[in-house]
Chain A
Amino acid sequence: MTAPFLSAHDVTVQFGGLTAVDSVSVAVARGELVGVIGPNGAGKSTLFNALAGTVALAGGSVRIEGTDVSDWRPERRARAGVARTFQRLEVFGSMTVRENLLYATEAAALAERPWRLLARRRYQDDALVDEVLTLVGLAGDADRPVAELPTGQARIVEFARAVCARPAVVLLDEPSSGLDAAETAALTAAARDAAQRWGFGILLVEHDLSMVFDLCTWLHVLDFGCLIASGPTREVAELDRVRDAYLGAVDAG
């Protein structure tokens, strides 16, 4: 097995007196497709935010290729190779699809040195954008402003934008929310193909099990902030305690 690129080691996150994530360890390597599932309120999103750098840790560490990055701000982790999408769609609405992706190819370079902000197109990568557009099936809509697109396509734009940042790992935060079954399937296929083509890893945090079972080869199950199971997707899905935690929550919801 390859060494993990991004990993959480005994990560604990607290809000006031409440422990949202309790000593959880997960890891994702380049090319690996890892899923994190769990019922509502299990701490999935909090774990996700801890990895992305938007919440502070109460214990443990987040590492990139072994280096402790717990106190790095989100933009620094992004430049180090961690891309992400958002549970509530975040796109550059006034730009076209192509402009969204082109900007993703140059953003890290622009942020590296302030004077690079003066560059016209020097750090953009048209070839990569064209290839990503074709692979995710957006080539026909490349010049439409993103604000015009339906949610399903906008989600794919968001994912494609993460890909254009040339990441080592992409974090997907409940990407299927707001999508119907066909749109979810399209996004799943795009994610699988892109990960295979460019060799990045994916850490998928999802409530919807079909996407996780479709995409991920390795699964972690969270319940009440604790990891209750980890392993290959097929094996974990058969475990009774996972079914209990999950189906119980589905009944309640």
Chain B
Amino acid sequence: MSWLPFVVSGLVAGSIYGIAAMGLVVTYRTTGLFNFAHGAVGMAVAYGFYVLRDEAGVPTALALLLCLAGLAPLIGVAIDRLFARAVDGASQATKVVVTMALLITLQGLAVAVFGATPKQLAPILPTGTFRLASVAVGWDQVIVIALGITILVALTIFFRRSRTGTVMRAMVDDRDLARAAGFSATRIGVLTWSLGVATAGLAGILFSPLLGLDSVILTLLVVQAYAAAIFGRLTSLPRTFAGALALGLAGSLILRALGDHPTLLNGLRPSIPFAFLFVILVLARRTTLRELGVSAPWAGSVRASATSGRWLLLLLPLVFVLSPARVFSLGFALVIACALLSITVLTGTSGLVSLTQAGLAGVGAFAYIHLTAAGVPFWLALPAAGLSVVPLGIAIAVPALRLSGLFLALATFAVGQLIDGLLFSSWTWFSGAGDGLRGGRPSLLESDRLYVAFILIVLVALVALVGAMRRTGLGRSLIALRDSPQAATSLGIRALWPRVAVFSVSAFVAGIAGGLYAGLLQAASGAFFNTFTSLLWLVITVVGGVEHPYGAVLAALLFYFAPDLVSSGGPASPWLTPAFGVTALLLASRPGGLVGWISARLPSRLVAFAPGPDEDALATVGS
């Protein structure tokens, strides 16, 4: 079979990635806010198109116009008003969390409203073909490629030649400049976000007939756009478009090259953009990747708390009075609380954002399953599961050492997806219960009640570990590097060891959580530990409070246990995820989260988890 058809379809896919990627670059370059939810807003517009055309019967052209010139600017205005301006000047970590929360909200809403099953869409563009050098080429393919090139040319001319474009380019460094030049910052913000949403929406609409309208696929398809945008150094439109075409071609040509090896193909193909993204980030020279916009260091407004966690033992009686089903769901929430603690360790102490925590927990779960299956005693298998993830944590920390803020988040996102695609989806070692392997429990803890009580004790121990870490030179170095990297350097501190250490502790905690998960469910599946779970975990931890260990516990109980109390055993409401997403959007710029909010409202002597000379109060400072 000829390679040519694959080249054509690769260019088509690349052009669609390119359209989305250029929109991403335009919004980042103008506002300094990297929109992780770029794919999610595109997905939202694509659903709008589906409703208008396929459900309400609006003609295709009119529906397109309504979506791109009506719905897209509407969403653009909403982003500008509700989030973009609120986080202007906040830390990069806050910005990452806000757009993640938006992603989770939109994706959750799509599932709540339209269900999780993908929708099939009729073709949008003409379906006729013509022959070009003995290859049948579709007119739709030609149109898409032409559309990509047209948008590239139009945007380039707009930014180089027009006054508005010039102001948009300069605005990211100086907000007053727009005003000085007689432009209203509001108008520019709205224009930028409308343009961004429209490109994402166009890409989403163009992709839907090819892939089906699926909220997860469309939301994550944007990674190609991330990779292309990073290839374009987040500033150059032509480079971005070229990167997108290269990615499209790579994805298409590997299909031709490995067509006879479906297992290899299925593992490798989805991983290409992530590998591409990770490699570019790690290899890029420091000067080529510059964070744009005004960013403060991570909050620094709330004191990281070093609690011992003993108050959590108050939950112990619950384990013995709840119904069996609820004990199990409490246990599940406590396992997740352990996993969320790995985010508290990392993000709450050092301000670094990692989007790979679920993947790390998953590796711990499978390590635990294989260890217990091989006859390793439980008491050894659990800590070994934690330790087994540490090398992976270090493997992320070291190449990513030079990266911080946004770029670290992107790199860990890529690693999370690589774990997902290369380990969980294509390596049978990680296929869990399929071959009869199951996570064992020690005979002493065979019953659910005793095992859940054990989980609670491990959770308390992990909280104490986090607290102990914060009272060491390591904890102080991390906070110093977070509050002011320059001042820390001026005292002689090198970022390497504290970073390696905190990634190790975080990975260890995640690995323990994975082991507990496998013991509780007596099984594990790679599907649970996917990247989406990592994003969700980050967002709900922020809701609970990312700096205080109790924030992780509260978040896990609210998300994984409380709904069960209300719905009594049925499936959790699909509105839960978007509800948490919206809450995270509201709380993102306050790292105190719900725990901080609650403790600020309790009379000081009732704040059970605050006082004591060693247990720092959640004193909210300044802000």
Which of the 9-residue segments A91-99, A178-186, A199-207, A244-252 touches chain B? A91-99
Chain B residue contacts of A123, Cβ below 8 A: 473
Q: Mark A86-105, 1 if CB is under 8 A from B, else 0.
A: 10001111110001000110
Chain B residue contacts of A92, Cβ below 8 A: 300, 479-480, 483-484, 487-488
Residues A111 and B493 in contact, CB atoms below 8 Å apart = yes
B423 at the A/B interface (Cβ < 8 Å)?
A: no
Partner of A118, one of B472, B488, B490: B472
Chain A residue contacts of B300, Cβ below 8 A: 92-94, 147
8 Å CB interface, A87-136 against B: 90-95, 99, 103-104, 106-108, 110-111, 114, 116-120, 123
A94 to B18, CA, bound (A): 42
Partner of B489, one of A74, A106, A148, A158: A74
A114 to B477, CA, bound (A): 12
Which of the 9-residue segments B301-309, B512-520, B521-529 touches chain A? B301-309
A28 at the A/B interface (Cβ < 8 Å)?
A: no
A105 to B487, CA, bound (A): 13
Partner of B477, one of A52, A79, A91, A107: A107
A75 at the A/B interface (Cβ < 8 Å)?
A: yes
8 Å CB interface, B468-502 against A: 471-474, 476-477, 479-480, 483-484, 486-494, 497-498, 501
Chain A residue contacts of B483, Cβ below 8 A: 91-95
A187 at the A/B interface (Cβ < 8 Å)?
A: no
Closest chain B CB from A240 CB (angstroms): 38
B121 at the A/B interface (Cβ < 8 Å)?
A: no
Chain A residue contacts of B484, Cβ below 8 A: 90-93
Residues B472 and A119 in contact, CB atoms below 8 Å apart = yes
A83 at the A/B interface (Cβ < 8 Å)?
A: yes
A40 to B489, CA, bound (A): 27
Question: Which interface class (under 10, 10 to 19, 20 to 34, 35 or more) fits A?
Answer: 35 or more
A95 to B487, CA, bound (A): 13
Chain A residue contacts of B472, Cβ below 8 A: 117-120
Residues A110 and B479 in contact, CB atoms below 8 Å apart = no
Q: Mark A150-194, 1 if CB is under 8 A from B, else 0.
A: 000000001001100100000000000000000000000000000
Q: Please name the residue on chain B nearest to A83 by beta carbon.
A: B490
Residues B492 and A165 in contact, CB atoms below 8 Å apart = yes
Closest chain A CB from B505 CB (angstroms): 11
Residues B622 and A148 in contact, CB atoms below 8 Å apart = yes
Closest chain A CB from B232 CB (angstroms): 24
Chain B residue contacts of A220, Cβ below 8 A: none
Partner of B479, one of A95, A111, A161, A165: A95
Chain A residue contacts of B471, Cβ below 8 A: 120
A91 to B488, CA, bound (A): 9
A141 to B124, CA, bound (A): 68
A145 at the A/B interface (Cβ < 8 Å)?
A: yes
A84 at the A/B interface (Cβ < 8 Å)?
A: yes
Chain B residue contacts of A83, Cβ below 8 A: 490-491
Chain A residue contacts of B491, Cβ below 8 A: 78, 83, 103-104, 107-108, 161, 165
B621 at the A/B interface (Cβ < 8 Å)?
A: yes
Closest chain A CB from B418 CB (angstroms): 28
Partner of A94, one of B302, B487, B492, B493: B302
Residues B474 and A145 in contact, CB atoms below 8 Å apart = no
Chain A residue contacts of B304, Cβ below 8 A: 94
Partner of A111, one of B302, B303, B492: B492
Residues B473 and A148 in contact, CB atoms below 8 Å apart = no
Closest chain B CB from A1 CB (angstroms): 28
Q: A118-B473, A145-B303 are in contact. Are A103 and B621 (CB under 8 A)?
A: no
Residues A147 and B622 in contact, CB atoms below 8 Å apart = yes
Residues B487 and A161 in contact, CB atoms below 8 Å apart = yes
B619 at the A/B interface (Cβ < 8 Å)?
A: yes
A162 to B302, CA, bound (A): 24
Residues A117 and B492 in contact, CB atoms below 8 Å apart = no
Chain A residue contacts of B489, Cβ below 8 A: 74-75, 78
Residues A108 and B492 in contact, CB atoms below 8 Å apart = yes
A183 to B317, CA, bound (A): 58
A104 to B477, CA, bound (A): 10
Residues A117 and B497 in contact, CB atoms below 8 Å apart = yes
A83 to B491, CA, bound (A): 7
Chain B residue contacts of A145, Cβ below 8 A: 303, 619, 621-622
Q: A92-B479, A110-B473, A145-B303 are in contact. Are A117 and B498 (CB under 8 A)?
A: yes
19 example contacts (A-B, Cβ-Cβ < 8 A) are as follows A75-B492, A90-B486, A93-B300, A93-B622, A94-B302, A94-B303, A95-B479, A99-B476, A103-B477, A106-B476, A107-B477, A107-B480, A107-B488, A117-B501, A118-B472, A120-B471, A120-B473, A161-B491, A165-B491
Chain B positions within 8 Å of A, measured between CB atoms, are 297, 299-304, 471-474, 476-477, 479-480, 483-484, 486-494, 497-498, 501, 619, 621-622
Report, nearest first, the 8 A-B pairs whose CB atoms are least far apart.
A107-B491, A79-B492, A117-B474, A78-B492, A90-B487, A93-B300, A114-B497, A108-B492
6 further A-B contacts with Cβ under 8 Å, apart from A107-B488, A145-B303, A165-B492, are: A75-B493, A91-B487, A94-B479, A95-B479, A99-B476, A106-B473
